[in-house]
Amino acid sequence: MTGRRTSGFTLIEALIALAIFSFLGVGAYQLLDSTATLMTGGEQRFAALSATQTALRLLEEDFTQLSPRPVAAANGKQSPALDAAPAEGIVEFTRSGWRNPLGAARSTLQRVVWDIDPDGRLLRRYRGRIDQPENVEPVVRMVSDGIEALELRYLDEQGEWQEQWPPPPVSDKPEDDTAAWLPRAVEIRLVHQRIGEVLRLVSLR
């Protein structure tokens, strides 16, 4: 008498099926994990790009509003309208066009400082007081993080790029006159750890 084969999986078949499903499960998890990582990386890169564009826009707005207005420091000395080597920060200058919708008793000029702190954060500081600004607490804005460098060059009247501003005085100009000098253009080089290097040329006149 021939015995009937019991329906269902044998132990070996069940183990093989379990191994296959486990393999597929691991593969699916790895695929989902990779997709999530790519999405997170893409979101972080987009956020970094957006912050970099904001920083460049604010820098461009500030530079296009440059004012040839030197400032008087508390020690009686005069600081140039545009100082590429300030005591604090990367660049310091006077800009016009500070909006005053409420009609407050203040100037439309600002004294602006751009800087990068040790944590790689790009900072914009301003003081509403032009003369003796060191006696006024600045308003600080964190514009972007992840910044590795901010480098600036200035185009002079002879069409030469200068890393120092004011440029060295020329023989037919008194040294004090250079305090009000402004460049014809500014080249901005911003380096972000995710985006890399971005260049922007700002024409001033």
- pLDDT tens string 30-89: 766 666 565 565 677 778 788 889 999 999 999 999 999 998 877 778 889 999 998 889
The CATH code for residues 50-203 is 3.10.610.10
Residues 15-39 pLDDT 10s: 666 667 666 666 666 766 666 565 5
The CA-CA-CA angle for residues 142, 99, 144, to 5°, reads 15
Report the C-alpha gap between 59 and 95 in whole angstroms.
Answer: 11
The reply to whether the predicted model has a pTM over 0.85 is no
Domain residue spans in the chain?
A: 50-203
Confidence category of residue 7, pLDDT binned at 50, 70, 90: low
Q: What is the pLDDT of residue 100?
A: 73
Amino acid at position 81, single letter: A
